[in-house]
Amino acid sequence: MQGGGSFKNMTSKGHAPNRPDPAVAGDGRGPDEKGSGADGPPAFVSHMGAEPGRDAYDEGKEACAERLLVVKGRMGRYVSAYDGEAACEGCDEPCADALARGGGKGPGGGGEAGHTEGTAEGTDKGRGKRKAKPPKFSNRIIKNPILAEVFSWAMHIVVALLIGLFIVVFVVQRTVVDKWSMEPTLHAGDNLWVEKLSPRFGWLGRGDIVTIYLPEELPNNDEVIIKRIIAVGGDHIRIAEGRVYVNGEMLDEPYVNGQQTRVQIGHERNADMTVPDGCIYVMGDNRGNSLDSRSFGAVERSRVTGKAGFRFYPFGRMGFV
């Protein structure tokens, strides 16, 4: 038949059936020419023949094409904008094998089977699991890798210092007791965590141990004292016969170890008074050796810098205060 004659005539010229001539397939260019059509496969696939290259590209163009380019860049032909290691991780070997076979190094037909297998395997491993990571911020603004690393470390240190400063100023601070006015509750050398939220939000009450900024009342260039709040704004305090009365009720003060509370001559007005609003009346637990409200009167709340919360040293006396 005429149709059969045509089939025999094709095979007599030495062309295998169903295999396109590499010189005329695809975009009509020879095996050494590179196509760059917008809808076609990337240029490096054209060496393996039009149909195998197009099929492999269509199957893996979203998941594997970028990784193939990166692998090609690691061979010295292409420089990726991203980190080749991160971009190709997950389908490194399959894609490299596909590139080698797709470049015409595979057996028969430009390595169609090898590229298809490599692309499929790379697609299964790479699709949706890993994406190319952009370079670090420091690498984007500083090209020199050493300077970029130094800049990165400097940024981390500055951020850490700012966080530490914020915590010390607004949250908590270490304080060391250096006097004896709070014995037996606190001793010289005790290390305390003093939190700063309570005075800031007005969470202060009777019995709290607080630090107070009061340089004008302290000798020896001291600036901060640590005392116990005995009464708050609006309370009436009276010291008589060695005992302390708040609003007419005698205080139970086990922390004074049985000491009597006395007032120095000349300061009697501070022994019977109503605490002004916005102020506190403070005394040390060591009543015989404490400079406190019995001498300088009530203290404004705004002078309170912190509230003692936890003693972390010495370890033998560790605990809340």
How far is Cα 90 from Cα 125, in angstroms, rounded to an integer?
A: 6
Does CATH place domain 172-320 in 3.40.190.80? no
Domain ranges of the chain: 13-126, 137-170, 172-320
- Residue 159 phi/psi, 5° resolution? -60, -45
| Residue 131 bears catalytic tag | no
Catalytic residue (choose from 46, 72, 181, 293):
181
Burial track 264-292 (b if 16+ CB lie within 10 A, e otherwise): eeeeeebbebebeeebbbbbbbbbeebbb
Catalytic residue (choose from 72, 227, 290, 293):
227
Say whether pTM exceeds 0.95.
Answer: no
Average pLDDT, the chain: 74
| Residue 125 bears catalytic tag | no
254 has a pLDDT exceeding 50: yes
Average pLDDT on 32-56 reads 47
Average pLDDT on 1-25 reads 43
For position 148, what pLDDT does the model report?
85
Comparison of pLDDT for 127 and 262, the residue scoring more? 262
For position 124, what pLDDT does the model report?
47
For position 173, what pLDDT does the model report?
93
Highest mean pLDDT among 27-41, 65-79, 214-228: 214-228
How far is Cα 157 from Cα 160, in angstroms, rounded to an integer?
A: 5
